[in-house]
Structures are given as C-alpha cells and as structure tokens.
Amino acid sequence: MSNGFLPVCKADMEAAGIAQLDFVYVCGDAYVDHPSFGHAIISRLLEAHGYKVGIIAQPDWRERDSIRILGEPRLGFLVTAGNMDSMVNHYSVSKRRRATDAFTPGGVTGKRPDYATVVYCNLIRQSYKTTPIIIGGIEASLRRLAHYDYWSNKLKRSILLDSGADLISYGMGEHSIVEIADALNSGLAVSDITFIDGTVYKTRKREDIYDAIELPHYNALCADKREYAKSFYTQYCNTDPFTAKRLFETYDDKLFVVQNPPAKPLTEREMDQVYALPYRRACHPDYEVQGGVPAISEVRFSLVSNRGCYGGCSFCALTFHQGRIIQTRSHASILAEAEKMVWEPDFKGYIHDVGGPTANFRAPACGKQLEKGVCANRQCLFPAPCKNLVVDHSDYLALLRKLRALPNVKKVFIRSGIRFDYLIYDKDPAFLRELCEHHVSGQLKVAPEHISNAVLERMGKPRVEVYRRFVQAYEAMNRKLGKEQYLVPYLMSSHPGSTLKEAVELAEFLRDLGYMPEQVQDFYPTPSTISTCMYYTGLDPRTMEPVYVATNPHEKAMQRALIQYRNPKNYALVEEALTKAGRTDLIGYDRKCLIRPRRKDMRAAEPERKVPKKKTIRNVHRKKTERKR
C-alpha cells in the first residue's frame, strides 16, 4: 500500500495489485495500526507469513453490503469485537449507555452493535454461507464456553454456537492464527481443524474427542448454579498451556463444543518479532477528518514490555486470556521501538508507560513455570508469597535506566499497574528508590482494592497489612528523597463478600487516611472471572463455600456512596447505609463520624423550647407603655 496501511477498500486492493484477499479481518474497533491493538498484531503477523489481509473496521451491521466491500476472501473471515468486550464498551456497571467510545473516530458511540462478534458473524453468513469464519479477541476468548452474561442476567451458550463461526482462536492468538492459516492454505477443511492449541471447535462426533475432561451438559449448568461453579473452576484449573487438559461441553442434539489446551507462551524472540512488524503506529488516515481515534493517545508513547500476570486477582480475566506465565520482550526490542518513538514530531519528551498488565513483572514467578507450568491449585502471591517466588526487579531497573538515557527523553513514567506486594517483598530497596525518584509524576496509582481482609480473601488480594507496609515504605522513601508524592489507591465497591459492614470499614479507613477518591469502581461482573462466578452462583468456586453478594442496585449504590461519603450528593445513601449497618455512631460531630446529622434531625433531638408570642403592633405598643410607667 502506498500509505503503508492494509487494504480497507477495493481501490486499495487494486493499488496493491491484489485480486483476492486471503483473509478479511472484520473488527468492531476503528483501524489503528499499532501493536496495542489486537487487529493490528494479527493482521500484520499474517502478512509477515505471506498472507494478504484486508480490514473492514466497524461495518454497518444493518447493511449487508458493508461486509462485502472487499469481496470474498480465499481462506476465511477473521472476526473480533475489538480491544474490549462490546458490552463492557457500551455499558457501565449500572447498565447505562456510555457517552463515548475511545475506539471509534471522534469518540462517538453507536458504531458497533451489542454482542458485536455474534452480529458480525451472522451478517457474514447472510452473504457467504460456507466461507470459514474464525473469531477471536477478548469477547470471543472469554465467552468460549458456557458463561454468565451480566447484561441479560442469564447463562449463555458458547459464543461459537450463537455466532455460527467455525473456530475460536482464544488468548493472544499469534501461534494459533498462523497454524489455522497454514492449515486452511494447505487445503484442509475448516471442520477438520480440530488439533490446534489455543482453539475451540464444535463437532457432532463424540468418538473424535479424546483425552478430554467432560464438563456438565449445558442444560445441567442452567438448572443448577452449583454445577456451573464446579464447571467454571475446572476451566480455571485448565488454563495453563503446559498442564491443561482438553475440555468439552455437550449441548442439545449431541452437539459438542471442544476447547483445546491453551497455546504455548511466546518466547522472547517471538515477542520481539511480533513488535518488530511494520506498524504505522497511527490510526488510518481516513479518520483524520473525524478527529482521529482517542484510544491511541493513551498508548502512542507507551511501551509494552511484558504479557501475562501471576497475580491471580479473582476479578481479573487475564488468567483466561493472557495466562499466568510472564512473557517478555528483550531490552533490544523495546529500545529499538523507543528510539523510533522519541524522534516522532509529536513526542514531547515523556514516555508514558513501560509495562503490561503488571509493570514490575519481568520474568516468570519461578524457574519451573516455563517447563512445567503454573501450579493448578496454588497462587504465587496469595494468600502469602510462595516460597519458590523469585522477587527481583534488577532487569526492569536496567531497562528503565536505558530508556531514561535516550536522547529527547525527559521522563519515563510507569502508569500500568505496580504490584505493591511484590515490590515490598523485594529486600533490595533500589527499585522503590528509583521508582520514587524518576518514574512517578506526583501521584502513584496502586490497587489495594479494599481493606477488609474478608473481602480481600475473596478478591485473591494480599491482606491489608501488606498494603500498610507498602504505604509506610513509600512515604519513608519520598521523605528521604525530599519529594512530596502521594498514593492514589484504586478501590472497589460491592465485590462478592462485601456487606455493608465491610463497606463501612472501608469508609472508616478513608476517613483516617484523609482521602476521598474521585472515582470508584463498582464491581463489574464481566465474563470468565472467579468473581463473576461468585456473583452469579453465590458460591466461591475454589471452595464451594457460600459468599454474600450484593446484587440489589440500591445496596450497590449504598456501598459505592460510602467510599465517597464526603460528597453531599451521597448523604442520603450514606445515612441509610450507616443506619442499616447499625453504625449510627458514625453520624454526629465527633471527628470519627462520617457525616453530621441533618438539621431536621438536630431539631428533633433538641429539648422543647418556649416559643415567644408573635409580635404584633398592639403587643409592641403595650410593652412600650408598660416600660414608661
């Protein structure tokens, strides 16, 4: 292509001398050719392997011709909802429509449908009855088997069935998509592609499913939430690429959905190759007149250094998508990208981030993970750090020092998550010192999420004592450096396990801290997390113990309001919450109180006072006469 982007119309194909594309990539996001966008990575990777790929970004799902603009591909359609699940993209946790869409030109909404993957696939099937369809991305990955759907409040079938697609490429997809492409290119029918790790397929031949764990029938899952909790935890324990078994679900009419084990993690060399592909690092020029795509501003001057996370937070879907094994790029790869970035005309001297899901993870948790995988029934950091955990920031520090030394670089920030418990377990204070000295812009955002140990246990987070240790160490280091820098804690309300009692505890913690967060994340039950399973079933799938879950919108509003108890708009909710929790001792004038009584309550509490007679002209005249006498 003359502009360096992949074809988005017939004119682009003609200019490139392409009569027919091998793959047409249909995406719910605008076309941004940057390695922070899944469609850019997969399409560029296929291009590097010799396949011709075109992009249909945000087609009009109400118009059949919108899916035909590039013609029928030789090998198949690739379909994704985008970098986010389309329902999370569209709706807040209160199920209200969001006002903006950062992945759409100009930030406007309404450019993709709800349940975008399903809608796009059905649109394709209206015109191309037999062309293979492979779905992927976060929406397809996390809905690959039966799953609870918060927005419809019911259990849904595998997205493979509702979409009518032939295969799911789940997880990050680099390994599986190339294998799928090569299999199709060899002449193999898509129905025969049943052997690739990192894929999900459907079949009616039970005898062809081998060495697999049978999950409960879909009807049984719908009938009994305990069955779903057990099934989910089986899936959770089979997310490791080295130890996972094949899984399958049965649906009506002897239809089976089969999940192959996850694809192996990328090696450092493979990660380097992925990020060395010829990305334009910009949104398609067609969007310039609409103001560009807002999402790229967050990542344009940021660097991805790793993937995966062994933190194991219950509310996070990373275990199901990127996995628990850390994958990293080499210093040379990251520096090569940075050296191009720092000479871009719009670069102002600030690298916005160097990290990934967890910035300070730059190696697997222990030496055995790359050979034997992660432990199925144990976490690396929770409830206490594993004795085999290797705590070492030296490689990350070395990388940050190299980036700070580049020409044109004024500051290198770390904005992706710092795992504070991992940091505090490091006996060498060098990273904490340099973090405070060079990589914080006045405020460091960390994610304790809550302070009640009862809730933290359900979250899979360390006990509050660990956070307190970190706060003390951070403040002490800043005092030593003569810097005035603060912590901004991310907090979550209404997570399973949190009653009004625990919500009040959190409010008291914030009172003592002297801090009221501007933003609060109410727990959002997104597909394929342990916390979402708890929300739906009322059970912790790890133990099958009952868990209290706040599902009533009004109670959720009270828990959220308690975190922002100083906001006058929240007064009525906070008062009601404190009354229901039996904590009216926190309503008053003592410095430990959260809110003061309302004026009507004050009057009701005061003793009755004698009301003076109403002044009239006659009374005033009589009193003056009496005084004269």
Contact (Cβ atoms closer than 8 angstroms) between residue 177 and residue 204: no
> How far apart are alpha carbons 253 and 23 in whole angstroms?
32
Per-residue pLDDT band at 615 (split at 50, 70, 90): very low
Average pLDDT of the segment spanning 423-442: 95
Q: Tell me, yes or no, whether 54 and 172 share the same domain.
A: yes
Cα 125 to the chain's mean position, in Å? 30
Q: Number of structural domains, the chain?
A: 3
Q: What is the pLDDT of residue 516?
A: 82
Query: What is the pLDDT of the chain when averaged over all its residues?
Result: 93
Q: What is the pLDDT of residue 199?
A: 98
212 is written with which tokens? 């697999």
Average pLDDT of the segment spanning 168-197: 97
* pTM of the entire predicted model: 0.92
> How far apart are alpha carbons 410 and 323 in whole angstroms?
34
- Is residue 223, in this structure, part of any structural domain at all? no
Q: Tell me, yes or no, whether 424 and 327 share the same domain.
A: yes
% of residues, the chain, pLDDT over 90: 89
> How far apart are alpha carbons 522 and 34 in whole angstroms?
31
- Is residue 288, in this structure, part of any structural domain at all? no
129 is written with which tokens? 């009855």
For 359-381, the pLDDT digits (tens) are 999 999 998 888 889 998 889 99
Contact (Cβ atoms closer than 8 angstroms) between residue 198 and residue 175: yes
Q: What is the pLDDT of residue 623?
A: 45
583 is written with which tokens? 């904590």
Per-residue pLDDT band at 336 (split at 50, 70, 90): very high
Average pLDDT of the segment spanning 106-130: 97
% of residues, the chain, pLDDT over 70: 95
Which H or E run contains 476? helix 464-481
> How far apart are alpha carbons 351 and 215 in whole angstroms?
46
Per-residue pLDDT band at 417 (split at 50, 70, 90): confident
The CA-based dihedral angle spanning residues 15, 20, 23, 24, taken in that order and rounded to the nearest 10 degrees: 70
For 60-116, the pLDDT digits (tens) are 999 999 999 999 999 999 999 999 999 999 999 999 999 999 999 999 999 999 999
Q: Which domain holds residue 535?
A: 442-629
Average pLDDT of the segment spanning 324-352: 96
Q: Tell me, yes or no, whether 517 and 601 share the same domain.
A: yes
Average pLDDT of the segment spanning 128-133: 97
**Tokens 């799953």 sit on residue:** 147
Range with the poorest average pLDDT among 252-256, 493-497, 540-544: 252-256
Q: What is the pLDDT of residue 181?
A: 98
Q: Tell me, yes or no, whether 398 and 502 share the same domain.
A: no
Largest CA distance in the chain: 121
Q: Tell me, yes or no, whether 448 and 408 share the same domain.
A: no
Handedness of CA 508, 483, 476, 353 (dihedral sign): positive
Average pLDDT of the segment spanning 201-229: 96
- Is residue 403, in this structure, part of any structural domain at all? yes
Average pLDDT of the segment spanning 328-334: 98
End-to-end CA distance of the chain: 109
Q: Tell me, yes or no, whether 386 and 455 share the same domain.
A: no
Query: Is the pLDDT assigned to residue 605 strictly greater than 70?
Result: no
In the chain, the amino acid numbered 174 is E
Q: What is the pLDDT of residue 594?
A: 96
- Is residue 181, in this structure, part of any structural domain at all? yes
The residues, any chain, with a CB within 8 Å of residue 26's CB and separated by 6 or more, are 56, 59, 67, 77, 78, 79, 80, 120, 124
- Is residue 390, in this structure, part of any structural domain at all? yes
Residue 177 has, within 13 A of its CA and on its CB side, a CA count of 31
Which H or E run contains 321? helix 318-321
Query: Is the pLDDT assigned to residue 622 strictly greater than 90?
Result: no
- Is residue 222, in this structure, part of any structural domain at all? no
434 is written with which tokens? 């340099």
Contact (Cβ atoms closer than 8 angstroms) between residue 375 and residue 435: no
Average pLDDT of the segment spanning 265-282: 96
Q: Tell me, yes or no, whether 414 and 480 share the same domain.
A: no
Contact (Cβ atoms closer than 8 angstroms) between residue 292 and residue 235: no
Query: Where is the domain boundary, 436, 455, 472?
Result: 436
Q: What is the pLDDT of residue 441?
A: 85
Query: Is the pLDDT assigned to residue 244 strictly greater than 80?
Result: yes
Query: Where is the domain boundary, 395, 410, 436?
Result: 436
Query: Is the pLDDT assigned to residue 527 strictly greater than 60?
Result: yes
Query: Where is the domain boundary, 136, 165, 200?
Result: 200
